[in-house]
């Protein structure tokens, strides 16, 4: 069992105590509900009060979180910007901004680069049985590589995003550390924010399922006599 998008330290601790992997998102790590009722910040699970966010950040810093997740959930302006907050769809953009946000945390000394790689690439590949085809750089792997500039500073601009929705909760946020070149299976697909790949290069990623076998034998109450 994997617990996605945990928002409190209690949830993280409970999941790890039960032997589960648990992931968090940049928005639950970095934002709190003080943003108000702006529809850009409407998301499930919701943003928490700042004390809960700080405790989540502490659990993250202590290494209790096993994964970083983008929770990419784009919606069209018609879906996201309805007049009433209760009619607006839930979800934030995450794919194109998550790396810069977390590299900014690296630049601030709140996260090491090696831990970021482990949380965003190695651990997910292992959990979903894609390792070592994914999640590592070695002979025989897929050469999915992102080259980053840890000193490149900038501002997130939603007009430069490529999702079907460009309504970003991070619009105007300053970052330090950005991807400059992305390779998929050894081929450059994005360079300096510009898409270079041709349609058809992407491939559906298929897991390698485990061999079926009984588990938890002898665990639980004895059957009735």
Q: At what angle do helices 9-17 and 50-61 cross, to 10 degrees?
A: 40
Torsion region of 116: left, alpha or beta (phi above 0 gives left; psi -120 to 50 gives alpha): alpha
Write down the pLDDT at residue 216.
66
Cα four-point dihedral sign 86, 34, 99, 180: positive
Residue 120 φ then ψ, to 5°: -100, -15
pLDDT tens per residue across span 18-55: 989 999 999 999 999 999 888 999 999 999 999 999 99
Write down the pLDDT at residue 53.
97
pLDDT band at 214 (very low <50, low <70, confident <90, very high): confident
Q: Which long-range contacts (CB under 8 A, 24 or more apart) does 136-143 make?
A: 142/184, 142/185, 142/186, 143/183, 143/185, 143/186
**Taking all residues of the chain, what is their mean pLDDT, rounded to a whole number?**
92
Residues with active-site annotation: 71
Averaged pLDDT, 207-222:
71
CA dihedral (69, 70, 74, 79) in degrees, to 10, reads 70
Write down the pLDDT at residue 200.
93
Write down the pLDDT at residue 219.
61
CB burial string 85-118: b at 16+ within 10 A, e below: eeebbebbbbebbbbbbbbbbbbeeebeeebbeb
Residue 180 φ then ψ, to 5°: -115, -20
Q: Which contiguous run of DSSP H or E holds residue 154?
A: strand 145-155
Residue 206 has pLDDT above 70, yes or no: yes
């Amino acid at each position: 069992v994997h617990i996605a998008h945990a928002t409190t330290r209690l949830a993280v601790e409970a999941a790890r105590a039960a032997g589960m992997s648990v992931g968090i998102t940049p928005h639950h790590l970095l934002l709190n509900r003080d943003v108000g009722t702006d529809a850009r910040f409407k998301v499930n699970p919701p943003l928490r009060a700042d004390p809960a966010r700080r405790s989540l950040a502490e659990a993250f810093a202590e290494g209790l979180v096993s994964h970083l997740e983008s929770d990419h959930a784009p919606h069209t302006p018609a879906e996201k910007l309805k007049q009433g907050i209760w009619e607006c769809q839930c979800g934030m953009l995450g794919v194109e901004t998550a790396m810069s946000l977390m590299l900014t945390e690296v630049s601030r000394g709140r996260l090491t680069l090696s831990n970021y790689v482990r949380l965003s690439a190695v651990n997910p590949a292992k959990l979903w049985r894609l390792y070592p085809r994914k999640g590592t750089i070695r002979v025989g792997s897929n050469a999915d590589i992102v080259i980053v500039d840890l000193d490149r500073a900038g501002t997130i601009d939603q007009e430069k995003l490529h999702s079907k929705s460009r309504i970003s909760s991070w619009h105007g946020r300053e970052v330090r550390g950005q991807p400059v070149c992305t390779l998929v299976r050894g081929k450059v697909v994005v360079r300096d924010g510009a898409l270079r790949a041709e349609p058809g290069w992407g491939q559906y990623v298929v897991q390698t399922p485990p061999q079926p076998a009984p588990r938890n034998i002898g665990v639980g109450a004895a059957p009735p006599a």
